[in-house]
């Protein structure tokens, strides 16, 4: 399941597209997010692209290079604006979407609601340190690694892996909270599986960089992260004490575990 992690962002897209109940869950927030993303895209391309390109051209030997870098910078600015909008305005919606996907994938209601079981505002405050810490880290890393795009091809790939690592970790914060794990325990699990998180996050980051549609992919990435968490739990993989959670339609009895090929065997 860890090795197949990079496939889950794509699985999330198909799962979201084939489950209309998820559309209703995120409809209002998605419309707001898409409106914000569209407005940010238009404003930044109209008012920020040319000034940045002209400023870069003053220090670069070729004008076309300045425009290419300026376009990349604007895309990063759109991504950053969308990231902040979802993180600040829609954190509870993201957690509810994660829970809905887990319930659909397992065929069982989600009984472990994490911090929000104490009440939404109390829950957000309780998990706020995790969210703020990773959000600030993601913003700083985004700014620091932006110059990597100056290195054609390789620089962009490195950028996606570095930023994707934190992005994939961020999408599993609610799962760690549901498992009753502290920040340190969740961080230890992510570090132990850093390559899987980096590869999965690179795909997520690449999708989220798509203008306008990137805001939609932020939601489908949450769906993919939830599916990944469900499959890891079915294999007994995860932070803290993991209970084997069968996928929908297949039961796992006491003293049994699910093998890597999806069959049930004695533990």
Read off the pLDDT of residues 139-175 as tens digits, 9 standing for 90 and up. Answer: 899 889 988 877 878 999 999 999 999 999 999 999 9
Q: What is the pTM of this model?
A: 0.78
Q: Which pLDDT score is estimated for 243?
A: 52
Question: What does the pLDDT read at residue 114?
Answer: 56
CB-facing half-sphere around the CA of 48: CA atoms within 13 A: 16
| Regions of the chain where pLDDT drops below 50 | 116-126, 244, 250-265, 267
8 A C-beta contact, residue 6 and residue 199? yes
pLDDT score at 59: 83
Domain containing residue 19: 5-266
CA distance 188 to 48: 40
What are the phi and psi torsion angles at 265 (to 5°)? -135, 165
- Strand pairing partners for 257? 265
Number of domains forming the structure of the chain: 1
- pLDDT of the residue at 131: 67
């Amino acid at each position: 399941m860890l090795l197949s992690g990079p496939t889950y962002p794509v699985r999330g897209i198909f799962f979201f597209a084939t489950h209309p109940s998820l559309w209703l869950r995120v409809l209002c927030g998605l419309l707001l997010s898409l409106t914000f993303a569209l407005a940010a895209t238009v404003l930044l391309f109209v008012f920020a692209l040319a000034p940045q390109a002209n400023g870069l051209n003053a220090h670069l030997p070729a004008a076309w290079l300045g425009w290419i870098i300026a376009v990349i910078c604007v895309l990063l600015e759109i991504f950053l604006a969308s990231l902040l909008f979802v993180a600040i305005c829609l954190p509870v919606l993201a957690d509810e979407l994660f829970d809905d996907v887990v319930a659909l994938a397992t065929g069982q209601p989600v009984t472990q609601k994490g911090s929000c079981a104490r009440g939404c505002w109390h829950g957000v405050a309780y998990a706020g340190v995790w969210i703020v810490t990773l959000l600030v880290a993601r913003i700083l890393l985004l700014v620091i690694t932006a110059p990597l795009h100056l290195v054609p091809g390789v620089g962009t790939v490195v950028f996606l892996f570095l930023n994707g690592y934190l992005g994939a970790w961020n999408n599993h914060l609610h799962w760690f909270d549901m498992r009753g794990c502290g920040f340190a325990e969740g961080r230890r699990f992510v570090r132990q599986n850093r390559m899987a998180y980096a590869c999965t996050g690179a795909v997520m980051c690449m999708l989220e960089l798509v203008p306008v549609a990137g805001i939609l992919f932020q939601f489908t990435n949450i769906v993919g992260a939830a599916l990944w968490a469900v499959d890891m739990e079915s294999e007994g993989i995860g932070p803290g004490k993991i209970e084997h959670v069968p996928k929908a339609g297949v039961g796992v009895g006491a003293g049994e575990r699910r093998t890597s090929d999806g069959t049930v065997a004695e533990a």
